[in-house]
Chain A
């Protein structure tokens, strides 16, 4: 359900294009004012930001170029486990190993993209090949405990005794990362690469006839998006101080990211952030009803997607207004302004 609202003419004021990001950042920066007293609350919102970053990266791959990567968790996990293993085994500082691991994730993502493009796989087939990759990664994590800790997981030394283990500071580190990702997304959207993305997402045959190198741009999106995933996953590992087999599992990352993005609006700038915010709040509300959480999650998912019938973003904007009501900070205004609707 890609939205087609990005074909508006470029704005006169270049800075205006980044205003929604600034607004969202401002709102998110205020969150620790009420959550800052509680360490567990800060963990919840920081994890929420992590998922927002995952969703922005996934949006670049799926929303912008239509490649259904069902290995978001695996790519983040390559970054996370990669960085932890390199830093803790070789004694390198985690600031060095995180970009290394992100490059590794990027390599895998670009390779998957390359395969999908070379074999001209459509959405479903790309989804299934990447799902197979994700499940293989999971089996690898469980099957090589001497490297990954298997079911017991790994304690992470890299990042200990830094501000990443403070209660409030990591939130702003993750917020910074998210803002950087959003700016990258926006810059790409506004460049010639963004035009190519939109053209090939809407109709790749036509885009190819118009002289766009579809393969190159798809692989580019897969590569950049996967590096973002790897970097986020690595930062999350050093922040939590622990990585285990469920940290990056398909069920705990991919499903959530997909639902968050679809909820927020596939292919929109702030959709991923909005989706992550709403589902983080919802998770927190349901924390005492752990037994029925999955059930409620399912019911909400079904209701959400049913209300998409007339096309994603308009129905979505209304649905969000109805569902979230008053206690949600205003990124949705920015998001609706951004998509040129409302």
Chain B
């Protein structure tokens, strides 16, 4: 029981981190990044290819994460520019469709070149006893990494000038511009950051189970659900939603069965949207 709870918690933290990346990009530019999961997979594939060639694990992981940071920046500077010129619903729809296309492209390339590639990062050492329960060392490292990164993110948005600038653009783009903030630059940095977060999630997932090249769509859907349940644009909301949904998913999968569990997960998400459309933490 405790082991299941902890599995759920680790999964939840990963969901949460995915949701945060999605939610930041949406909050800033109104772009629903439907290629978010695919970007995570790109990081995993870059790392896996490098490790196949004998690169040291740490280096390969860093290169994988940096490569999606770069991918995020490039997408923002090129494809997303026409999107940012649109307004309101048009912008949302155009951004969504373009990123859908990007998702196809990434999936298409992966399916074509690396259909059977997978990344696993083996964390050596046996299970660790926590509160009398044996827990895989990979799970512990994974949650530690996400915990640290998540904490850093929250501190970053609260206390640094750039973090505050980011939040001001989310609140009111025009107002931020009048205060001398360049929303375009903030969006570019955050798109890159979002890619990096996706990459980190992929790396932590690889610590407990292999990340395969076709995992992108599933990750995107989870990220989307988490971001919406947490309230689009809210970082801590996304984390909370991720943890709750991760627990719901793992517990119902363990006690009821996989298919029913995904229905329960989706129903939980749908009912949160219906009961609290502004997200878990946002005041109406």
Show the binding face of A for B, using Cβ within 8 Å: 1, 66, 115, 119-125, 128-129, 131-133, 135-136, 139-140, 142-144, 251, 255, 258-259, 262, 291-302, 304-306, 308-309
Contacts and interface: CB of A to CB of B under 8 A. Distances in A.
Contacts of B224: 128, 131
A125 B273 CA distance: 8
B274 A297 contact: no
A285 to B, nearest CB: 16
Nearest to A309: B82
Nearest to A143: B259
A301 B100 contact: yes
B267 A132 contact: yes
Contacts of B98: 301-302, 305-306
B2 interface: no
Contact of B273 (A128, A142, A296): A128
Interface string B108-126: 1101100000000000000
Given A302-B105, A305-B101, A306-B82, A136 B267 contact: yes
A298 B90 CA distance: 20
Contacts of A133: 266, 270
4 closest Cβ pairs, A-B complex: A143-B259, A295-B108, A298-B104, A301-B101
Contacts of B273: 119, 121, 125, 128-129
Contacts of B201: none
A121 B228 CA distance: 12
A295 B263 contact: no
Contact of B108 (A122, A142, A259, A292): A292
B232 A292 contact: no
B108 A293 contact: yes
A294 B108 CA distance: 5
A135 B262 CA distance: 8
Contacts of B101: 298-302, 304-305
Contacts of B89: 66, 122-123
Contact of B92 (A124, A136, A144): A124
A291 B2 CA distance: 44
22 contacts: A123-B92, A125-B277, A128-B224, A131-B221, A132-B267, A135-B262, A136-B266, A139-B259, A139-B266, A143-B259, A251-B217, A255-B100, A258-B100, A259-B97, A291-B111, A294-B107, A295-B104, A295-B105, A298-B102, A299-B105, A301-B100, A306-B82
B260 interface: yes
Contacts of A139: 259-260, 262-263, 266
Given A132-B270, A143-B260, A143-B263, 17 more contacts: A119-B277, A121-B273, A124-B32, A124-B96, A124-B228, A124-B232, A132-B266, A135-B266, A136-B263, A136-B266, A143-B257, A298-B107, A304-B101, A305-B94, A305-B97, A308-B94, A309-B86
A314 B92 CA distance: 20
Contacts of A262: 97
Q: Is the interface of B mostly helix, strand, loop or mixed?
A: helix
Given A132-B270, A309-B82, A302 B102 contact: yes
Nearest to B26: A124
Contacts of A132: 225, 266-267, 269-270
Contacts of A122: 89
Nearest to A115: B274
Contacts of B217: 251
Most buried by A among B32, B258, B266: B266
Contacts of A305: 94, 97-98, 101
A258 B97 contact: yes
B192 to A, nearest CB: 20
B104 to A, nearest CB: 3
Contacts of B257: 143
Given A297-B108, A306-B98, A121 B277 contact: yes
A1 B94 contact: yes
A128 B277 CA distance: 11
A300 B260 CA distance: 37
A87 B3 CA distance: 47
B185 interface: no
Nearest to A295: B108
Contact of B109 (A66, A120, A293, A295): A295
A342 B164 CA distance: 49
B79 interface: yes
A49 B267 CA distance: 33
B41 to A, nearest CB: 14
A258 B104 CA distance: 14
B93 interface: yes
Nearest to B105: A298
Contacts of A66: 89
